[in-house]
Each structure stands twice: as structure tokens, then as C-alpha cells.
Structure 1
Amino acid sequence: MPPRYSASLRGLLPWMFLMLQSIFTLVLLFFFSQEYTIERNLHRYPAFQDVNVIIILGVGFLFAFLRKFGFSGVAFNFLITAVGLQWATILDAFLFNRTDGVPAISFSSLSTGLMSIFPVLISSGVILGKVNPMQLTIMTVIELPIFAANRYIMTNYLLMNNHISMMYAHIFGAYFGLAVSWSLVPPLLGNEASEQYEKTETTSELFSMLGALFMWIFWPSYNSLLLKDLKQIQNAVFNTYFTLAASTVVVFAASALFNKKGKFKMIQVHSAMLAGGVAVGFSAYMIQYPWITMTLGLLAGLISTIGLTYLQDTLKVVTLVHDTCGVNYTFGLPGLLGALAYALLILVADYGRFELPIYQALVGVGCILLTLSLSLVGGLLTGFFLKCKLLKPPKEWHFFHDQPYWEFPNVDCHI
């Protein structure tokens, strides 16, 4: 049991949630079209449900690997998904989906809103166990407009399509979360609470592996949901499967190779096996040859495993950034690899769509720099704001523990 007294969230948290929900309802009442927009792409609803599984079940269980933070890892993920879906859909309709000048809810805005939650969930993985649900909710409210602005600049000024602009979510979420962690959370080097509670056990690791398997199975839908051309959808599905398979094989090989005892490490496997799907999201729809995507999966799996094995603890000491879930190596670095590979493929391949391939490749690099700039600056400012005492940030001795937030019938909870 965590020692010392834990501040109750009863006074502020319920009213903040009720206020947010009331605001969302009033915005839809007064500023939106009162009818849903009818679209022809409702046949993509099964893929939409697949992405639902990735976000709610997959990420939720993936974040359940801490032995004392299972309740919060799953439930807080679901909470910010419920808040973020409404806010992201409203933002998308305002910026990208207007009917006669009036924002309207369509299947496209709902799909884009659902996928826009993903960078917030990635960011929450960095600070998992170190913030309370109020701080997570405030971060969600702040991060989504910045990510929407990132996409708006890409689609309207850099002329990137909607699908490509969404694939930068992995990079944005990872580095926004790392910036929040740097400015919000004190260094945990040698911290007793961190050493005692930031541990896993067999059951929690199995739950996390289950979440990773859900995400692995349905990831082709994530990489194809916003595509409309049937040929591009087919390419995205096939290439994503090949890349995921290649990265998974490489992860098992690298995990055993880098282990002194020659054994697999579960946390490396369930974290790095998704790297291939992240990396190929940018270019999966346009690649015609599976060997290219398999090579990309090999590199992504290798980079992710090396990062988790050798870099995570080193960077924590050097940069004082604590990354609970290692999202920099599951999403950040594989996302950067995929974005650079996309720019390179435009240069070396002729798909009949790029009149100025060098210019298009430079735009791709520019999108990387734009995403990194907005995510890092936005994350730093958000982290400083979340330190506000009004939000009752948890003390270090309550990190990575469910008991400050949940009632356990068989435990005396006077904390």
C-alpha cells in the first residue's frame, strides 16, 4: 500500500467531467447541422470497428503491464477515449467537414475523430502511472486541437492527403508525451516509489500481450480506414500484414540475441512487434512489392528492440525523461523511420502521380519537422500547465499504484 495521504479528487473531478460533457452537447446543439451527413462509404464500417478494437481493447490492455496499475491502465484509457472522441469529432467537423458553411457530423469526421484519439493515448503511455485522471483529461483537451492544427497545415498548405496527415499521429503522440513528461514529472532516478511499484508480473504481462495481439490483428484496418480507392485499400492491407509479420520475427530474434541468457523478454516482444505496422502506415497504400514492406518491417523491429534494450534507461539518465511504456521505441522512432521511408520512396519510384518528386519528398521531410516542432512545444507548455496544484497532481509515492483512485473492498483504504 502506498504510504501517506492521497488527495481526494471528489471536489473537482465530477464537476469538470460534467462541465466538459455539457459543453460538447451545447456545441453540437447550437453550432452544428442537426442532421448527419449521408455518405457512400459506410461499407467501411467494419474497418471502423476494427480501429475501435485497437484503441479501446488493444491500447487499454497494452497499458495494463504494471502489476499495481491494471485498473487505471485500462479504465483511464477508456475515459480519455470517451472524452477525446467527442472533442476530436467536433474539431474535425469544424476544420474539415462543413455543409453550406455549417459543421456537420459524417462518417468521415467520426472515423477521423476516432483515429485522432490515438496520439493522445500514445502520449498518455509516456506518463502512465504518474498523473491523475483530471490531468489526463486536460491533456486530451489541449493536445487534440494542436494535432488538428498539425493536420490542417499539412492538408491545406502542404497539400498532403488526409490519410498521410493522420499517419503522423505516431510521431506527434510520442514526442508530445515525452515533452509533457520532461516538464511535468520530476526525475525518477533512484526514487523508491518508482523502484517498488514500476514492476510487472506474469498476469499483467499476459494482459499487455493480449492488448498487443488485438492491435496486431486489426492494424491493417488502421492503415487503410481513411483510404477510398479499392486498389490502395488492398495494397495497405496486404503490405501491413507482411510488415507486421516481418517485424515480429525480427523482434523475437533480436530479443534472444541481445539477452545475455539467450531468452525472450516479454516486454520487448509486446512493445516492438507493432513497430512494423507503425512504420509502413505512410507508404503501405502505394507500395506494389511486398519485399519492400518486409524490409521496412525488419528495420522497424530491429530499431524498436535495440531502443528498448539499450537506449531507454540510458536516455532516462541523460535527458531526465521518464517513458513508462517505451512509446518512443514502439511509435516514435518507427514513425520517424516510416516518414523518412515515404519521402525516399517518392524519390526513387515512379507511381505516375508525382510531377515533382523532389519537391514532394521535401514536403514530407517538412511535415516531419512541423510535427516534431508542434508536438515538442505543445507538450512542454502542457506539462507546465498540468503541474497546477488545482489539478492535485499525485505525489511520487503514489506513482504506478491504483489505490489512490479505486476502491478495493478487501483493502483498508485510508490514504
Structure 2
Amino acid sequence: MAPRYASSLRGRLPWLLFLIESAFIIVVMVFFPKGYKIQKNLSDYAELQDVNVMIFLGLGFLFGFLKRFGFSGIAFNFLIAAIGLQWAVILDILIFKNSTEMQSIGINSLRKGLMSIFPVLISCGAVLGKVNPLQLVVMTILELPMFTANRYIMTHYLSMTNHNSMMHGHIFGAYFGIAVSWSMMPPLVGNKASEENEKSRPTSELFSILGTLFLWMFWPSFNSLMLTEPPHVRNAVYNTVFTLATSTVTVFSVSLLLNQKGKLKMINVRNAILAGGVSSGFIAYMVQHPWISMTLGLIAGIVSTISFANLQSTMNTVMLVHDTCGIHYTFGMPGLLGGFAYVLIILMTETGIGISSYQALVGVSCILMTLTISLGGGMFTGLLLKCKLLKPPKEWHLFHDQPYWEFPHVDSHI
């Protein structure tokens, strides 16, 4: 059944997009008059393109699992990624460098920009189908400065590397999105129309598992993109592959054990197997022995699968948090697991006890700070997105493409 009449976004969204893009052009023209940096080679472009595939194809298809929200799930991901990339590059250069200098843009700028929009897209997964594209654009514009500020504090005051500051993006994106969903949305229990539209169909599930495959294949590039030392890059690639492989086998095993009929559930397979890649981001470059990465993948697979099976409905009914894509179990909890694994490995190193204890304390502090900024910023953003000026969708429009897309076979007055 088609949803009732939806408010047109024609008077707001196009002009906001034109305003944002015009502002980007002016900022780039004023602050980056040197244009592009002269690069000796573009050896990093292959890894950069791998992350491109993860963002535009991987997450795009992963978010296309809803049976009536496929157009929007894929296309809105594309729109947000395109806006976020430009905004992230500008923010990173202006905040991390002296803004009075004459700046230029290089391959490293694109690398940081792509990595920075990943948490934004993760956050969008928590509110997928419950917000309109106007709200998603505003959410992107607000979240990126908060994540960039979080990274700035880590790297400048807590001596965290650029790589590890980026790996906190999984935690930041997951809990920012959960906070947005909690603060702006009532619980959807009992809303029959929304519950029906939130289901998937075999075709949409196939698209979603295709996104998982893209993410799985290129995750080693994601975990090594910000690293510069060849031994670190080598370790990150090898360990990520082992962690992903182990978590995949674990998910199939645990999913079968949890099902009384002994059958697999696609939601577990397409989401939980990525937990290994997420959890390994913090430690992959540090680990010299594959069994450590494999153990982490085993734990991540177990935690993610059990959480998907038992906590998803509980979060909605008891904690009043609706997480459309289950990003809490794909990115949030595995990210926390990886962060604490990083702290544990530091404590077990052979350096001085005082040094190890201090570095471990810094690691815990970074996790707590990330949680604080993401949850606080998410709640503020969620309250702002409820503003009537942004025309939040009505409950009968949730998880439905029709309010935003033209369907020739449907009456034009709907």
C-alpha cells in the first residue's frame, strides 16, 4: 500500500545543496590558492580507490537491504559521501594545519577525507529510512566537525597517531548514530506500517550481501591506508585478512548454533562477518603473530553474532533505541573490542612499566572521549533534526522510497 501524501522538499533541499556546494567552492578558492600539490608519484592511489569502493559500493549496497527503501539507501549514501568528502578535506586542512599558510591539496588530503566520511556513513545506518535527505545533509555537516575535533585532540594533546585516531571512527560513527536515533525518534514498536516496510526481500538481501563482499575484500586497504612504514603496512594487511577470515567462519558457526532449526540468517552473515575487520583496525599494524589476530576475529565474530541475535529487539523495546542497520553490532561493539585489545597489547609489551601504563591510560582516555563526544554530539544533532523546518517524515513514510522518488507506475497524486 502506498504511503499518504508526503511534503515536497523542493523548496529546501535543492537550495541547501546549492548553498553548500557554493560555499565549498569559495572556501577552496580562498584558502587553497596553490591548487594541487606536486606529487612525485601516485603510488597510494590504488589503496585510495579501494576505500572508494568500500564507501560508494560497499556501504551503498549494504544499506540497500530494505525492500521499499533500496533507491534511497543506495543513492542517499552516494549524496552524503560526495558532500562529506569535500567537507572533510576542507576541515582537515584548516583544523590540522596553520590556516594562515597558503595551502594546497594532495593525495594525503583525499586519503584523510575518505577515512573521515566513513563514520558519518556508519551513523546514517542507524537512522536509515527514518530521516529525509535534507536531515541527512544537515547531520553530515554537523558530525564531521565533531569527529575532526575528536581526532585533533587525540593527535595534538594525547600523542595518538593519525591511524589510530581514524580507527576511532567506527566507535564515533556507531554511537553518534545511536544517539541521533534515540533523541529524535520514538520507539517503533507497534507501528505496523513501519514494521512491514522495514523488512527485506531476497533481491534486496542479495544487494546487501554484495555490499558486504566489497567491504570484506577491501578492508585490508582501509586498515593500512593511513600507515607510512612498510612493516606496519605489511602487518596491517596480513592481520586484517586473518581476522576477517576467522570472524567469517565464526559467524557461520555461531549463527547455526543460535538457530533452533539449524539454519543461517542473512542478517548475521551480511553484518557480523565485518566485525573482524573493524576490531583489527587498532592493532593490525602492531601484531607480529597471526594467532593473535585470529583470536581477536574469533571473539569479534562471537560477540557480533550473539548481539545481533539477542540484543537488536531489546534495544528497541527496553532502551528505546532503534538501530535500522544494526551498526552497534557491526561497528560499535567490535570497535570497542579493538580499542581495548589495543590497550591490552600495550600493557603486555616489553617496554617500561611506566611507559606502557601511560600509553594504555591514553588509549582508554581516547575511547572514553570518543564515546562522550559522539553521544553528546549525536543527542544534540538528533534534537536539531526534529525541527519542523527540516520536514521530518511522518511515521507512515518511514522506510519507503515513494516520498522521495518518482515511480511512473504509481498515480502522480500520491
Asked if residue 374 in structure 1 is aligned to residue 373 in structure 2, the reply is yes
Residue 200 of structure 1 and its aligned partner are, at CA, apart by 0.6
Residues 34 and 103 in structure 2, CA contact (< 8 A), matched pair in contact too = no
Report matched runs for 1:10-409 at 5 Å.
Answer: 10-40=10-40, 42-97=42-97, 101-350=101-350, 356-409=355-408
Aligned equivalents of 2:389, 2:145: Cα separation in 1:
23
Residue 38 of structure 1 and its aligned partner are, at CA, apart by 2.8
Residues 240 and 277 in structure 1, CA contact (< 8 A), matched pair in contact too = yes
The answer for the alignment partner of 2:7 in structure 1 is 7
Residue 99 of structure 1 and its aligned partner are, at CA, apart by 8.6
Asked if residue 410 in structure 1 is aligned to residue 405 in structure 2, the reply is no
What whole-Å deviation, never above 9, does each CA across 1:8-59 have from its counterpart, x for those lacking one?
Answer: 0111111000000000000011122332123457311100000000000000
Residues 123 and 174 in structure 2, CA contact (< 8 A), matched pair in contact too = yes
**Counterpart residue type for residue 249 of structure 1:** V
Residue 257 of structure 1 and its aligned partner are, at CA, apart by 0.4
Aligned equivalents of 1:99, 1:288: Cα separation in 2:
40
Aligned equivalents of 1:57, 1:289: Cα separation in 2:
32
Residue 2 of structure 1 and its aligned partner are, at CA, apart by 3.3
Q: 1:28 to 1:354 in 2, by over 3 A?
A: farther
Residue 194 of structure 1 and its aligned partner are, at CA, apart by 1.7
**Counterpart residue type for residue 279 of structure 1:** S
Q: 1:41 to 1:234 in 2, by over 3 A?
A: farther
Residues 308 and 329 in structure 1, CA contact (< 8 A), matched pair in contact too = yes
Q: 1:27 to 1:354 in 2, by over 3 A?
A: farther
Residues 254 and 305 in structure 1, CA contact (< 8 A), matched pair in contact too = yes
What whole-Å deviation, never above 9, does each CA across 1:391-415 have from its counterpart, x for those lacking one?
Answer: 1110010000000000011122423
Q: How many residues align?
A: 414
Residues 178 and 321 in structure 1, CA contact (< 8 A), matched pair in contact too = yes
Q: 1:40 to 1:363 in 2, by over 3 A?
A: farther
**Counterpart residue type for residue 5 of structure 1:** Y
Aligned equivalents of 1:286, 1:386: Cα separation in 2:
41
**Counterpart residue type for residue 206 of structure 2:** L
Residue 263 of structure 1 and its aligned partner are, at CA, apart by 0.3
| Segment drifting more, 182-191 vs 57-66 | 182-191
Aligned equivalents of 1:225, 1:269: Cα separation in 2:
26
Aligned equivalents of 1:82, 1:412: Cα separation in 2:
32
TM-score (norm 2): 0.98
Residue 186 of structure 1 and its aligned partner are, at CA, apart by 1.4
Residues 35 and 104 in structure 2, CA contact (< 8 A), matched pair in contact too = yes
Aligned equivalents of 2:266, 2:111: Cα separation in 1:
32
Percent identity over paired residues: 63
Aligned equivalents of 2:227, 2:41: Cα separation in 1:
10
Q: 1:41 to 1:317 in 2, by over 3 A?
A: farther
Aligned equivalents of 1:96, 1:286: Cα separation in 2:
25
Which blocks of at least 5 consecutive residues in structure 1 are unaligned?
none
Residues 84 and 117 in structure 2, CA contact (< 8 A), matched pair in contact too = yes
Residue 343 of structure 1 and its aligned partner are, at CA, apart by 0.6
Aligned equivalents of 2:383, 2:98: Cα separation in 1:
35
Residue 193 of structure 1 and its aligned partner are, at CA, apart by 2.0
Residues 36 and 104 in structure 2, CA contact (< 8 A), matched pair in contact too = yes
| Segment drifting more, 361-370 vs 313-322 | 313-322
TM-score (norm 1): 0.97
What whole-Å deviation, never above 9, does each CA across 1:191-213 have from its counterpart, x for those lacking one?
Answer: 12222201011000010000000
What whole-Å deviation, never above 9, does each CA across 1:255-313 have from its counterpart, x for those lacking one?
Answer: 10000100000111010010000000001001000000000000001100011000111
Aligned equivalents of 2:14, 2:352: Cα separation in 1:
52
Residue 97 of structure 1 and its aligned partner are, at CA, apart by 4.2
Aligned equivalents of 1:38, 1:354: Cα separation in 2:
44
Residue 353 of structure 1 and its aligned partner are, at CA, apart by 10
What whole-Å deviation, never above 9, does each CA across 1:194-235 have from its counterpart, x for those lacking one?
Answer: 222010110000100000000000000000001011110000
Aligned equivalents of 1:2, 1:349: Cα separation in 2:
60
**Counterpart residue type for residue 216 of structure 2:** W
Aligned equivalents of 1:146, 1:100: Cα separation in 2:
22
Residue 100 of structure 1 and its aligned partner are, at CA, apart by 7.2
Residues 35 and 104 in structure 1, CA contact (< 8 A), matched pair in contact too = yes
**Counterpart residue type for residue 188 of structure 1:** L
Residues 3 and 402 in structure 2, CA contact (< 8 A), matched pair in contact too = no
Partner of 1:103, secondary structure, is coil
Aligned equivalents of 2:40, 2:272: Cα separation in 1:
37
Aligned equivalents of 1:161, 1:410: Cα separation in 2:
54
Residues 247 and 276 in structure 2, CA contact (< 8 A), matched pair in contact too = yes
Which blocks of at least 5 consecutive residues in structure 2 are unaligned?
none
Residue 3 of structure 1 and its aligned partner are, at CA, apart by 3.1
**Counterpart residue type for residue 130 of structure 1:** K
Residues 98 and 104 in structure 1, CA contact (< 8 A), matched pair in contact too = no
**Counterpart residue type for residue 370 of structure 1:** M
| Segments of 4+ moved more than 4 angstroms | 97-100, 352-355
What whole-Å deviation, never above 9, does each CA across 1:96-124 have from its counterpart, x for those lacking one?
Answer: 24597233312112100111000010000
